[in-house]
Amino acid sequence: MAGGKLSARQKMINLMYLVFIAMMAMNMSKEVLSAFGLMEAKFADANVSTADRNELLLADLKEKSSEKPKEFSVPAARAQQTEIASDKFYKYLESLKQDLLREGNYKIDSETGKLPFESMDKTDILDEAWFTGDRLTKKGDEVMANIAEYKSSILEVLSKDESYRGTADDFKKTFNTDKVENKDKKKIDWLNYHFQGFPAIASYTKLTAMQNDVRVAQANMLNLFLGKVVTEATTLNNYKAIVLPEKSAFFAGEKFQGRVVIGKYANVPPVKLVVQGKEVDLATAIDSSGAATLDFNVGNVGEHEIKGEFTFIENGKELPIPIEANYVVVPRPNSATISADKMNVVYRGVDNPMTISFAGVSDNKVVANAPGLNKVGNGKYVMKAGTGRDVTINVTATLDDGTRVTDSKQFRIKDIPAPTGTISGQSGVVKLPKRNVEVGTVGAKLDDFVFDLPIQTTSFKIKVPGQPTVNVAGTKMNSQAKAAIKRARKGDNITIFDIKAKIQGNNTYRLKNVSPVVVEVTN
């Protein structure tokens, strides 16, 4: 419709055409907004009815607790814990909805009790309240913190009993806030994915839907505490015989020492126990936790099997549970096992975690020495590499008979690789609008490095074609840089270079030069 000299009649036709398109879009928008409104109303109704049912379930549980305290007092206490956490989070979600109505100046119809669905099309209310640039505002952080607090409170209750595991897994899925993959196959933060850029009625509906998730989750837990939910059966058929040796390998000629338990120390007394073809005296073998103590010669070097059978009585019948396990007998050691937890080399400028041990020798009888090596726990060490190209770790172990054996291993020393410059998390040659460059954060990252090091950018330079180079301190564009960026044209390549960065908390190590990042202006 553009181009060439148009007559007054043609201009009028074009204008009418644009108005017609706008009216169609407006009508479609109202239909969509109304659809969200209807969904919100259904969720709201469901929340009321579910809350009523939950009150009845909780009252039933309290009554059972008074009638049968031994059986229901603990579930009733847990139900009250979940009620407190659920009500607190539900009310917080309601406060977010009221904030949305207030900021948008939306009023509920006093006669119908309905929201003004068709006028709730603003997208900037939550965008301004919860998001800023490439991070969340304080309010956005508050929203995520309240979700995390609710999840933590509920999962703490559900962690108290193994039979709650299925309900806990379902709860985690319902309130999962991991990053979400968008239509461009990029993973973005959960809050951005669900609330950024949506009309007010859509966000309001989502908050009501979350309230519905809270009430439904609470109902599931109340049913669980009342014993009305089918969970993993607690019958002994689901328990397993577990062999717990005192150590994973034994020297030739030693006696095997360990225990056999059923599941999680079920504390269910067996009527018979057979191990390696021989019946064991239950009076001396079974302790108060339900574990059976084993004591037999381990045999020669090599892999061996432990076979046997527990016999229990369930529902008046014998229930056999097989015992099946393996153990390995190894020769007495003459060499140490030394390995870097994350790499085949050690790096300057970082704490390199290492595991050092001698097979079959307890940690308190193993001594490791090397320049920059410090012990931090059982078998755990930290290496702070110094100068040079390699370092040798010497290990000495004292065996049970007093014999000392030694071993050593050499590691290469490398510098931390050069970081890659970034803007708004992107590196190399990227395409961005000028506005995104102005507000973007300049940083540095270590690509494919084995350590997650916190890199802090202290300064950088920016060059816009036709403009003088601007020096910037920190990670954000200053006024001079923004002025230069504003003069850039579409297709110009803005270069961000001479990026200065350091490892947070480490002022002594000097990183290699950070590679530049080039931005092609898209508008």
CATH of the domain at 349: 2.60.40.60
* CA–CA distance, 282 with 120 (Å, rounded to integer): 74
Q: Does residue 147 sit within a domain?
A: yes
Q: Does residue 508 sit within a domain?
A: yes
Last residue of a domain, one of 375, 390, 414: 414
Q: Is 84 exposed, middle or buried (0-12, 13-18, 19+ CB in 10 A)?
A: exposed
Whether residue 292 contacts residue 273, with contact meaning beta carbons closer than 8 Å, is answered with: yes
Supply the pLDDT for residue 89. Answer: 94
186 and 62 within one domain: yes
SS3 459: strand
Whether residue 470 contacts residue 498, with contact meaning beta carbons closer than 8 Å, is answered with: no
98 and 209 within one domain: yes
344 and 208 within one domain: no
- Residue 340's DSSP bridge partners are 354
What would the two tokens of residue 17 be? 């055409």
160 and 53 within one domain: yes
Whether residue 294 contacts residue 256, with contact meaning beta carbons closer than 8 Å, is answered with: yes
Last residue of a domain, one of 314, 330, 346: 330
297 and 243 within one domain: yes
Q: What are phi and psi of 4, to 5 degrees?
A: 80, 170
CA angle at residue 115 from 111 to 118, to 5 degrees? 120
245 and 348 within one domain: no
Whether residue 472 contacts residue 459, with contact meaning beta carbons closer than 8 Å, is answered with: yes
Which positions ≥6 away from 475 have C-beta within 8 Å? Answer: 441, 442, 443, 457
Which positions ≥6 away from 76 have C-beta within 8 Å? Answer: 61, 62, 64, 65, 225
Distances (CA, A) of 286 to 252, 258, 260: 27, 12, 9
What would the two tokens of residue 517 be? 């990042």
* CA–CA distance, 77 with 64 (Å, rounded to integer): 12
Which positions ≥6 away from 121 have C-beta within 8 Å? Answer: 29, 33, 199, 200, 201
* CA–CA distance, 48 with 94 (Å, rounded to integer): 13
Whether residue 470 contacts residue 462, with contact meaning beta carbons closer than 8 Å, is answered with: yes
Q: Does residue 344 sit within a domain?
A: yes
78 and 182 within one domain: yes
User: Which is nearest to 349 in space by CA: 384, 378, 304, 323?
Assistant: 384
259 and 164 within one domain: no
- CA 187 to the chain's CA centroid: 14
Supply the pLDDT for residue 26. Answer: 42
Stretches in the chain below the pLDDT threshold 50: 1-3, 19-28, 228-238, 315
Number of domains in the chain: 4
- Residue 257's DSSP bridge partners are 295
SS3 69: helix
Q: Does residue 365 sit within a domain?
A: yes
148 and 34 within one domain: yes
Q: Does residue 5 sit within a domain?
A: no
Q: One-letter amino acid identity for 470?
A: V
What would the two tokens of residue 279 be? 């019946």
Give buried/exposed letters for 369-401 (b at 16+ CB in 10 A, else e).
Answer: ebeebeeeeebebebebeeeeebebebbbbbee
Whether residue 338 contacts residue 352, with contact meaning beta carbons closer than 8 Å, is answered with: no
User: Which is nearest to 218 in space by CA: 90, 59, 86?
Assistant: 86
CATH number at residue 278: 2.60.40.10
Give buried/exposed letters for 37-56 (b at 16+ CB in 10 A, else e).
Answer: bebbbebbebbeebbeebee
What would the two tokens of residue 368 be? 């490791």
Which positions ≥6 away from 128 have C-beta within 8 Å? Answer: none
Last residue of a domain, one of 330, 364, 390: 330
* CA–CA distance, 384 with 345 (Å, rounded to integer): 12
433 and 408 within one domain: no
Half-sphere exposure of 321 (CA within 13 A, CB side): 26
Range of the domain at 513: 420-521
Q: Does residue 231 sit within a domain?
A: no
258 and 198 within one domain: no
- If you write DSSP's letter for every residue of 369-428 in order, what string do you get? E-TTEEEEETTEEEE---SSSEEEEEEEEE-TTS-EEEEEEEEEEEPPPPPEEEETTEES
What would the two tokens of residue 472 be? 């910037």
431 and 357 within one domain: no
Which positions ≥6 away from 31 have C-beta within 8 Å? Answer: none
pLDDT tens for 311-367 read: 876 545 677 888 887 777 766 666 676 766 666 789 988 999 998 888 768 788 899
* CA–CA distance, 521 with 523 (Å, rounded to integer): 6
Q: Does residue 71 sit within a domain?
A: yes
Q: Does residue 6 sit within a domain?
A: no
Q: One-letter amino acid identity for 183?
A: K
* CA–CA distance, 148 with 156 (Å, rounded to integer): 12
